[in-house]
Structure 1
Amino acid sequence: MKKASLVVAAAIAAIHATGVQSQSAGGYPARPVRIVVPFAPGGNVDLVARALAQRLPEGLGQQVIVDNRPGASGLVGTHLVAKSAPDGYTLLAMANTFAVVPSIMANPGYDPLKDFMGVTLTCLVPQVLVVNTALPVRSVKELVALAKARPGEMSYASAGTGGTGHMAAELFNRHVGVKMLHVPYKGNAQAIIDVISGQVTMMFDQVSTSAPHIKAGKLRGLAVTSRKRSPLFPQLPTIDESGAPGFEDITFNGLAAPAGTPREALTRVHAEVAKAVRIPELRNRYLEMGVELTASASPDDFTAYIKAEFEKKAKLAREAGIKME
């Protein structure tokens, strides 16, 4: 009886040891992963992060928690992740402003190239060039001709200095050789209202937020900023094909990790995101909102993407004199 008990005990110990070894061999992640969203709930960065947080646990085998840390145009949450342990358990959900802010702010408190490593893209969202319906233009070529005929008289709205709409408009001005007055707002809603009312001539806006106004005839869409047409407005050409060859300025979302994060963690999260964004039901649901879910080829590829975006926008900021107070 005693011998049998010893055999059972030995067997249980062996099973336990095997379980521990398997868990260890499985490596990352061994506990829940947190995605910090540096903006309030409800925006595109938040919605995409939450969609992924629902899908990733199936492949990772651990819960994924979304933690909203808004404040100071995204700086609060970004600083939090930059100072977190580089272990793969705290990730940052970010957008274009992550790469733009350090080029227009004197002391942003982080360096996107030194303090972070790219994990993967999560989505691409084109912007649409919209104008007040009373403006006598129906194409990008006509808009450029009118702006050149009225130098400095035409204006464009944006949700704020350094935002995606502001940077896209300044890039457009330089690309086609026109000069328009920038009218910054504290948020997107009032900017759209003033373009609709005619207080401001035009703006670059996310296709998703301008779509209802374009469909209702309150705004006129001229073209999208991506290299390919938007599923939301297949009839709208790209700016590239509308007389401004080579123009592209697309909004992106992605995941980044603190510098020094183990490659195992980066590649594991990247692989699971790549699987999630290919799920037809999820992909189609976001395409209907003008959002293309996608993943980078690799973490290194996304790090290079961030670097290229930072350098492109830093050059634009210097040339246009864009500074955030």
Structure 2
Amino acid sequence: MMQFKENFLGRRQLMLAALLSAGLGKAFAQSGGVSRIIVPFAPGGAREMPARAIQQELSQETGQNWIIESKPGAGGAIGTAFVSKAAPDGKTLLMAASSHFVTAAMGARPFYEPVKEFAPVANIGNQSYILMVNASVPVKTAGEFIQYAKSKPGVLNYNSAGVGSSTHLAMAYFAKTADIDMVHVPYKGTAEAVTDVSGGRGNAVIVPTAGVGVYLQDTRLRVIGITSKKRSALLPNIPTLAESGLAGFHFESWFGLLAPAATPVAIQEKINAAVNKIIGNKDVKERLLALGMDSPQWNLDAFNKVFLADRELMTKIVKETGITRES
């Protein structure tokens, strides 16, 4: 009886393995339970917006019910680590950005390895960042702000969405390049950081172009520059920081989906094809443009090259700015 049981279990396991292998593509296309895009920051932030922009179409295209779930904490490390340990079945993805590499670059042990434990599967959109000051700050341009900050070393402060966030990194990089000394005040999210600058409890903040429209309507804030290489088609009247005296300066970010590294390439390709089809749709393109994003359609190889290049760039910026977990 024991021998029969062992033989039966062995055959059963082999059959299951064969079925899983043969039915990989079919299983992906079938609806089956809930699939999740994990946002490793608080709800309502810039990281969530591109995921929302494609959520409905992704469910339709893949035949799976995709939900967006926030798992904030530890500068994004909690949600990111959760995805790194998730089943590699294409049903749990991370909504990531270029700042994905920053925690490790700061020398921290984030409970995950940002390259080895993830597969970049689909980019949704690329964006730049807007530099804003409280309207009481007596400047109209980024050049004037740089000179004003230089006259008050260590006096002015800037808010961010948290230590190691893209908003922190972008502002620290700007300050380093401009050779100005400002005090960093970290918050739990972009909305809180901007609210306190708007209310006069902060002097400056850099925010993603995603969702920036609401801030442009606030008369207590003044927009003085954009971090892109060239002026934005959506915001053509905002000069680049390079135009304002920081020759060659730019800071941009991709927003895309990462899967656990062991996810089969067949599943990665299906997600990549689905997202590329979605962001190629005119309505979705306009939706992303309204968020301040363009939407290049990268295949797996192209996204992986950008992913690895950004690791080098973000590590370089962290090193040059001296950002630490206590910054």
Question: Which TM-score band (shorter chain)?
Answer: 0.7 to 0.9
Distance change in 2, residues 1:40/1:194 (3 Å): closer
Seq. identity, %: 34
Q: Is residue 272 from structure 1 mapped to residue 271 from structure 2 by the alignment?
A: no
Structure 2 CA distance for aligned equivalents of residues 249 and 260 of structure 1: 31
Task: Tell me the amino acid that sits aligned with residue 181 of structure 1.
Answer: V
Task: Tell me the amino acid that sits aligned with residue 65 of structure 1.
Answer: W
Paired residue for 1:218, among 217, 220, 224? 220
- Residue 45 of structure 1 aligns to a residue in which SS? coil
Cα shift at 1:41:
4.2
* C-alpha contact (below 8 Å) 1:119/1:269 kept by paired residues: yes
Structure 1 CA distance for aligned equivalents of residues 115 and 61 of structure 2: 29
Cα shift at 1:240:
2.4
- Residue 28 of structure 2 aligns to a residue in which SS? coil
Cα shift at 1:248:
1.6
Match of 1:8 in 2: none
1:1-325 superposed matches below 5 A: 24=23, 27=26, 29-32=28-31, 34-38=35-39, 39-60=41-62, 62-72=63-73, 73-104=75-106, 106-292=108-294, 294-324=295-325
Cα shift at 1:111:
1.0
Structure 1 CA distance for aligned equivalents of residues 289 and 103 of structure 2: 28
Match of 1:16 in 2: none
* C-alpha contact (below 8 Å) 1:162/1:322 kept by paired residues: yes
Gaps of 5+ in 2: 1-18
Q: Give the TM-score taking structure 1 as reference length.
A: 0.81
Structure 2 CA distance for aligned equivalents of residues 42 and 184 of structure 1: 17
Q: Give the TM-score taking structure 2 as reference length.
A: 0.81
- Residue 112 of structure 1 aligns to a residue in which SS? coil
Cα shift at 1:277:
0.7
Bigger drift between 25-34 and 236-245 goes to 25-34
Structure 1 CA distance for aligned equivalents of residues 23 and 183 of structure 2: 59
Structure 1 CA distance for aligned equivalents of residues 175 and 152 of structure 2: 13
Task: Tell me the amino acid that sits aligned with residue 128 of structure 2.
Answer: P
Cα shift at 1:247:
1.6
Bigger drift between 199-208 and 38-47 goes to 38-47
Cα shift at 1:28:
6.0
Structure 2 CA distance for aligned equivalents of residues 44 and 137 of structure 1: 27
Structure 2 CA distance for aligned equivalents of residues 81 and 31 of structure 1: 22
Structure 1 CA distance for aligned equivalents of residues 209 and 298 of structure 2: 25
* C-alpha contact (below 8 Å) 2:149/2:180 kept by paired residues: yes
Cα shift at 1:96:
3.5
- Residue 152 of structure 1 aligns to a residue in which SS? coil
Gaps of 5+ in 1: 1-19
Structure 2 CA distance for aligned equivalents of residues 236 and 188 of structure 1: 20
Structure 2 CA distance for aligned equivalents of residues 308 and 41 of structure 1: 29
Task: Tell me the amino acid that sits aligned with residue 261 of structure 1.
Answer: T
Cα shift at 1:69:
4.5
Structure 2 CA distance for aligned equivalents of residues 107 and 27 of structure 1: 38
Cα shift at 1:110:
0.6
Distance change in 2, residues 1:93/1:183 (3 Å): closer
- Residue 205 of structure 1 aligns to a residue in which SS? strand
Task: Tell me the amino acid that sits aligned with residue 81 of structure 2.
Answer: H
Cα shift at 1:130:
0.6
Cα shift at 1:296:
4.5
Cα shift at 1:270:
1.2
Q: Deviations over 1:178-229 (max 9, x none)?
A: 2222222333344323323443321111335553343342211111112233
- Residue 91 of structure 1 aligns to a residue in which SS? strand
Structure 1 CA distance for aligned equivalents of residues 198 and 86 of structure 2: 44
Cα shift at 1:290:
2.3
Task: Tell me the amino acid that sits aligned with residue 128 of structure 1.
Answer: I
